[in-house]
Amino acid sequence: MEEIDAVITWVDGSDPAYQSRYKDQLGKRRDFKKQFMQEDEIVLCVSSIIKFAPFIRKVFIVTDGQSPNLNEIRRFVATDKISIIDHKEIFEGFESFLPTFNIRSIDALLHKIKGLSEKFIYFNDDMFLIKESSASDWFENNKAVLTGNWAKTYNTQPLKKIANTVKNILKIRPSYNAGQSMAANIAGFDKEYFKSYHCGRPQVKSVIKGFYKYNPGLLRKQLSYKFRNVNQYVPYSLCWHLLIKDANYNAAPKDKHIEIEKIRNYSPVKLKNTLINLDKNEDLKFLNIQDLNYTSKETIEIFKNWFYSKLTS
C-alpha cells in the first residue's frame, strides 16, 4: 500500500514562553487571543488518528519549541509513529521569517518536513476521527478525495470584498473563506472556489513543491506576515485547487463529517444528547469541535469521557 502520513499543526497557548514570544511581536497591541489556548485536543486528535486510521505511516506534529503530552497519548495508543517537528526544520532557508504565529505561513511549508510521504493528510488539532477510516476515504484511484462544496469567489461579490477590507483595517481575524477564495484565484479559478469543511485535508507534496518552484515570490510574501493577514491565501486550499485544475480529485459529500459549532452554547445535557446521536449515525467518521476551551468544564468533561471510551474500546 502507498505510504500516507498525517501532519498536525499545534501550539500550546498556555505556555508562558510562547505567550512571551507572541507578545513581543505584537508591538503596541498586548492582547493574547483565547483561540490559542487549548483543552488537550491534541491528545484526542493524535490518538484518534493512530487508532482509527491504521494505514497512516507517521504522524508529524509541527510546533514551536513545544511537545504535546506524549504520556497522555500513550494511555490510548502507541506513540512510535509520532514525530515532533519544530518550525526551524520547515523554515530552513526562510529563517528570517521566524518566529511566526501565523498558521497560514506555517501551512505553506509543511511539504518541507523531512521524510514526509508524497501523499499526506493535514489536520488541525480540533479535527478527530471517531470511527475507522480507510485510505480510500482520503485518496481513491490516485486522486485526492476532497470534502466540500462550490461557492462564489469573493472577487465576484463586492460586499464581501468590502467586509474583508474592513476586517483588515480593524485588525479583525481574516476570513477563512476569503483565504480559500484567494487560493482559488491564484490557481486560475475566477468565479468559484471549492470551499472545504473542517476535517482532514488530503495533500500532494509534489504539487505544492512544483508550484512554489515557479512562484518563489508568492511564497516569500505569504511567509512575511507574523500574524494572519487579509492578503494571505489558505495554503492547503491552493493545493486543492491545483489538484482540481488537473482533474486529480474526487469530490465527496459531507455525510461522513460533522461540525459542532458554537460549543460555548452547549450545556452538558445538550452535548451528551448530540454525541449519542452521532454514535447512531453509522456513516459519520470525522468530527470537528472548534474552541472547546470556550465552553464549561462540565461540558468539556462530557466530551472527553465520551471520546476516552471510544479510544479504549
- Listed in sequence order, the residues at least 6 apart from 304 whose beta carbon sits closer than 8 Å to its beta carbon are 39, 44
| Residue 102 to residue 225: CA distance in whole angstroms | 7
Domain 4-312: which topology?
A: Spore Coat Polysaccharide Biosynthesis Protein SpsA; Chain A (3.90.550)
Q: Where are the domains of the chain?
A: 4-312
Backbone torsions φ then ψ of 56, nearest 5 degrees: -65, 130
Q: Is residue 35 over pLDDT 60? A: no
Predicted local confidence at residue 32, as pLDDT: 46
pLDDT-based confidence at 21, cuts 50/70/90?
confident
Element (H, E) at 143: strand 143-152
What's the pLDDT tens digit per position in 253-285? 888 999 998 899 999 999 999 999 999 999 999
Write the burial class of residue 33 (CB in 10 Å: 0-12 exposed, 13-18 middle, 19+ buried).
exposed
What's the pLDDT tens digit per position in 110-164? 999 999 999 999 999 999 999 999 999 999 999 999 999 999 998 887 776 666 6
Interior/surface letters 153-163, b for 16+ CB within 10 angstroms, e for the rest: bbbeeeebeee
| Higher per-residue confidence, 29 vs 156 | 156
What's the pLDDT tens digit per position in 162-206? 666 666 665 667 889 999 999 999 999 999 999 999 999 999 999
- This prediction has a pTM of 0.93
| Residue 4 to residue 9: CA distance in whole angstroms | 17
What's the pLDDT tens digit per position in 201-257? 999 999 999 999 999 999 999 999 999 999 999 999 999 999 999 999 999 988 899
